[in-house]
Copies of this chain bind each other. A is one copy, B any other.
């Protein structure tokens, strides 16, 4: 990568349901993809259980070592939703009911069965000093405090909160990825890959093998925050693969 400042983010996934294997996480991939476009690199993910001390520890370590920290999960209405309390503990501030969040929930539940009951009102609680993150897909908002962005765990709700944040975070140059595929076993082109990467400082080449239609192959992903450099290196890689007898497939297989 270039000498330019690199902006990094971490994600803390809060959820016994992920650690038990019951639920397949989808937020890592969607947050990572969105961060790339904002010019921010997802540099670390931790998945932690619904245990206050473990959340506090992860939040305090990650918010100190990255420009941004996102969390997903644990902000619903039930007893196992302890994210807001844990993050307030991490910041050593009390939990308050946010007036605007309360108004949003009153509006959202006005015509719904059950109305704004005590459990639902839990979703208006935020660490003191926090701001809200819009939730275009259901009532309860996300929460920002300092550099920590508290998002829902349900993937489509998390996605809509992330969308609402587009353009609001300072970042660097987006990372550009160019993929070149080939029906080449990666172990036969390992040296060629290594040489190509070494010849182009600022570029990282990843190799992702697959077995498809009865043939071995791999996609080679050329990444750089210098888009021109990523593209020219990918072109050179394609040319070298062709010279070695492997038909390159631009865009990957």
Q: Which residues of A contact B (CB under 8 A)?
A: 13, 16-26, 28-36, 41-50, 54, 76-80, 113-114, 117-120, 122, 154, 175, 177, 185-188, 190-191, 193-194, 197, 204-209, 221, 223
Contact = CB atoms under 8 A, between A and B. Distances in A.
Given A28-B47, A45-B47, A114-B185, A205 B80 contact: yes
A206 B81 CA distance: 9
Task: State the majority secondary structure of interface residues on A.
Answer: mixed
A190 B48 contact: no
A79 B46 CA distance: 26
Contact of A119 (B26, B28, B32, B187): B187
Contacts of A186: 76-78, 119
A24 B17 contact: no
A8 B170 CA distance: 39
Copies in the complex: 2
A187 B17 contact: no
Contacts of A205: 79-80
A32 B186 CA distance: 29
The 9 closest A-B pairs by CB, nearest first: A21-B32, A119-B190, A21-B33, A45-B47, A77-B187, A79-B194, A78-B207, A119-B187, A120-B187
A44 B43 contact: no
A193 B78 contact: yes
A13 B175 CA distance: 22
5 contacts: A17-B208, A44-B47, A78-B194, A118-B190, A119-B191
A86 to B, nearest CB: 15
A158 to B, nearest CB: 14
Q: Report which residue of A20, A24, A193, A197 has the largest number of chain B beta carbons within 10 angstroms of its beta carbon.
A: A20
Contacts of A122: 190
Contacts of A190: 77-79, 118-119, 122
A76 B207 contact: yes
Contacts of A48: 44
B43 A49 contact: yes
